[in-house]
Amino acid sequence: MLLNSNGVSVFPDNIEDIVLPEQKDRFRQQIEFILEVDKLKNVLRKTILMDRSRRENSAEHSWHIALSVLILSEYAKDSDVDLFQVMKILLVHDLIEIDAGDTYCYDDQGRKDQTRREKKAADRIFNLLPADQARTLRELWDEFEERKTPESRFANALDRLQPFLHNYFTEGQIWQENNIKSAQVKSRMHPVDDGAPVLWNYVSSLIDDGVKKGFLSE
Amino acid sequence: MLLNSNGVSVFPDNIEDIVLPEQKDRFRQQIEFILEVDKLKNVLRKTILMDRSRRENSAEHSWHIALSVLILSEYAKDSDVDLFQVMKILLVHDLIEIDAGDTYCYDDQGRKDQTRREKKAADRIFNLLPADQARTLRELWDEFEERKTPESRFANALDRLQPFLHNYFTEGQIWQENNIKSAQVKSRMHPVDDGAPVLWNYVSSLIDDGVKKGFLSE
């Protein structure tokens, strides 16, 4: 497999000196995966940065929420939540957007075939890896999507909180541009309550306050 | 404390309903920290993305290497390495660049006062958090910088591998623009050997190959 238009391949001629022959395919797949996921840095979300200079991409969003695990863990609904698992879920949760793109949460049209598009993306992207790692990452993504475990519920709460904070603290610029109503935001944000009730109380009060301040409409 | 030029504050009027009075300062500091670290998305590194479309920022770089922990863990020198710790170190390791900027690793002038600038940044940024969390994050950063533990050595290996891969697989564009020599890259990359010897063998062979292909000079 070649990696760019100029045909630079993963291994120079002396690869046999680096890993054992039986590890060669595995190592190649791992490096190719790491190079491939760089594309997540070009997937733009609706959210803007706090300084409003540009839209956020899904790679930096993933970093932001994985870091916030360390800061907000005490608000997880389940006090025994496995934070390492939450972090892994968050680092992986948006990889499917490399193929499927970021679907705006209030885009009802785009959301119709979102599941189909994202499953197809997962099939391709995770399977770039050796089978055992492909399975591990697929399970992390499935866990995130299913929202059944305490870890995935907390992960979902953090994933929804961060763009919400950006929206509120940029005075609802994106809400206004897309004519979003408070009931839509409340509904979208409600999973925060399943993962971190204190954070949901905070979000809920900011939504009410945002209506009062004119950041989003009633 | 106000959060933007328009004076939107962290709490609307009804904050007393959300957290206990004694938690109020703690919660405010945590939210303010999360909003502040958004600035890492505007810290540009020398490295370019794989598609060469733009320079990479330090937030997305941090995501990329934290994710790579999951992929490359089997190459850690110490097979007992605590991967959760490695991940935490990597999510935190560049936060000081919010104030100190990214210092190009071959910029001898900039590196002279790098330590002083970064320590000053650490003092400000981590101390935005409640004291216990400030201490935890500072310890993660100190551990990364000191490179004494197996976790920090593996973290440093991944931190150096990723931009190196970008440089090699974009045919040394940034190396050439900055007239970088192979001996400089070998010296810069040598900590990879302390954290992940197999990856160092790989890097080392790519450096030799890069010279052969003209990506960087002898």
Give the Cα separation of A205 and A185 in Å (integer).
Answer: 12
User: Rounded mean pLDDT of B138-145?
Assistant: 98
Q: What is the ipTM of this complex?
A: 0.95
With CA atoms as reference, the chain B residue closest to A7 would be B169
Smallest Cα–Cα separation from A139: which of A99, A89, A86? Answer: A89
Q: Is B133 on the interface with A (CB under 8 A)?
A: yes
Average pLDDT value for chain B: 93
State how far the Cα of A113 lies from the Cα of A93, in Å rounded to an integer.
18
- Tell whether the model's pLDDT for residue A8 goes beyond 80: no
Average pLDDT over residues A183-199: 96
pLDDT average, residue stretch A156-181 = 96
DSSP H/E element including B31: helix B24-36
Q: B155: which 2 tokens?
A: 């973290």
The closest of B22, B31, B35 to A205, measured between CA atoms, is: B31
With CB atoms and an 8 Å threshold, state whether B8 touches A62: no
B179 touches chain A (CB under 8 A): no
Closest-CA residue of A relative to B72 is: A30
List of chain B residues whose C-beta atoms are within 8 Å of the C-beta of residue A67:
37, 62, 91-92
In this prediction, residues A98-121 reach a mean pLDDT of 91
CB distance B70 to A71 below 8 Å: no
Backbone angles phi, psi at A216, to 5 degrees: -150, 160
Note the pLDDT of residue A1: 43
Is A137 within 8 Å of chain B by CB? yes
Q: How much is the pLDDT for B176?
A: 95
Contact residues, chain A, for B42 at CB < 8 Å:
49, 51, 53
B62 pLDDT higher than 80: yes
**Closest residue in A to B11 (Cα–Cα):** A206
CA dist A111 and A106 (Å) reads 8
Interface contact B159, partner A, CB < 8 A? no
Both tokens assigned to B216: 């960087």
Beta-carbon count within 10 A of A99 CB: 16
Average pLDDT, chain A: 93
Residue B101: beta bridge partners? none
Give the mean model confidence (pLDDT) for residues A95-109: 92
> Which chain B residues are Cβ-neighbours of A4 within 8 angstroms?
50, 169-171
Q: In Å, how far from its chain's centre is CA A100? A: 12
- Percent with pLDDT over 70 in chain B: 94
